[in-house]
Amino acid sequence: MRAAIRTAARHIRRVSAKQVPRGWRETVAPGVVIEQRVTPLDRVGCYVPGGRHPLPSSLLMTALPARAAGVPEVIATCPNPAPAVLAAAVEAKVSRLFRIGGAHAIAAFAYGTATIPRVDRIVGPGNAYVAAAKAQVARDCPIDFYAGPTEIVVVSSDGNPEWIAADLVAQAEHDPDARAILLTPERSLARAVAAAVAAQIEEHPGAAPSIAAHGVAVVTPTLDEAVDLANAIAPEHAVTDTLAVARRVVRAGTVFVGPFGAQAAGDYATGSNHVLPTDGVAQVRGGLSAADFVRVNSVQRLTRQGLRGLAPSVISLANAEGLHAHAASVARRVLPPPRGRRSRPETGGREEGG
């Protein structure tokens, strides 16, 4: 187990290091310099579920990107931290781990208690109560995104029925509310996968409730329509036969390609993050990354020459919008004062501006 945790952690660190936004500086015009500044958050809270199954992988997927981003204090909560979760916390260099879970753990992260400090951002998956609590506190403490019951959509026309079924059943065992969907233009493939799912549930009965409630095979007229439907669903996980199809599935938390793109590999050890948006949020963003743990802001520096060069454009646009005080704030610096009014003498500030 420790060796597996180290392997997964090594891969997550490698991917996370590539995700940290980089600072830069650009001279956009003479005397006008724009800088992008990237600084890590001070403290983050990682929620690790502990109900149906121990999830050391969820701790790694939340704490390691935060560390890669340079966050100095990483706090974790887990209602029932199994030994594997504690081992993952040591590997990820978690600052503190509290035995607490549910909506009250989210509230503690958001507002702080006598023992649990308030954090700058809350991340990590959870059940419906945790997701609802994150939505409630989001105005007061930023969260990652809605990460509710898991979803998988397989888009295939000639995949291996046994392997497709294995992916569907694997995701279905996460939660009774998990969704497992096959989209295919081939009716024969849909039937073969349905039969394989029924057989595999015998081996993995924990997947039966969600397959019964939310498992479905949809036969579409064409592969193009299967792709369109996948994008309309915007699932947490998408699985495709080929890279060509994967490039067209653009609304998904993550996309797996080819017969050996087992979705479970991404849950644990590929290095790509498994904390992914659900319930259609993948229409606008992908999964958790190191970029979620930094502040990105801009620094603008103007010299006298720079402001004079911009002044005609700024004054014209401001006046067009009726914001004449905006125009005046620039004009006072660069234009001669009106007749009869003496300008305030310059105080000899640095030429590059404030």
Q: Which residues contact 323 (CB under 8 A, 6 or more apart)?
A: none
Q: Which residue among 151, 173, 237, 274 is the active-site one? A: 237
Q: Are 71 and 122 in contact (CB under 8 A)?
A: no
The CA–CA distances, whole Å, from 133 to 43, 128, 143, 303 equal 19, 9, 10, 48
Rounded distance between C-alpha atoms, residue 157 and residue 288, angstroms: 30
Rounded distance between C-alpha atoms, residue 47 and residue 126, angstroms: 7
Q: Which residue among 173, 174, 236, 274 is the active-site one? A: 236
Q: Which residue has the tokens 């924990």?
A: 206
DSSP label of 181:
E
Query: CA angle, 185 as apex, 181 and 189 as ends, to 5°?
Result: 70
Q: Are 87 and 113 in contact (CB under 8 A)?
A: no
Among this protein's residues, is 352 annotated catalytic? no
* Cβ count within 10 A of residue 277: 25
DSSP label of 344:
P
Among this protein's residues, is 237 annotated catalytic? yes
Rounded distance between C-alpha atoms, residue 252 and residue 254, angstroms: 5
For residue 98, which of 139, 143, 45 has the smallest C-alpha distance? Answer: 45
Concatenating the DSSP letter of every residue in 15-78 gives HHHHHSPPPEEEEEETTEEEEEEEEE-SEEEEE---SSS--HHHHHHHHHHHHHTT-SEEEEE-
* Catalytic (active-site) positions: 236-237
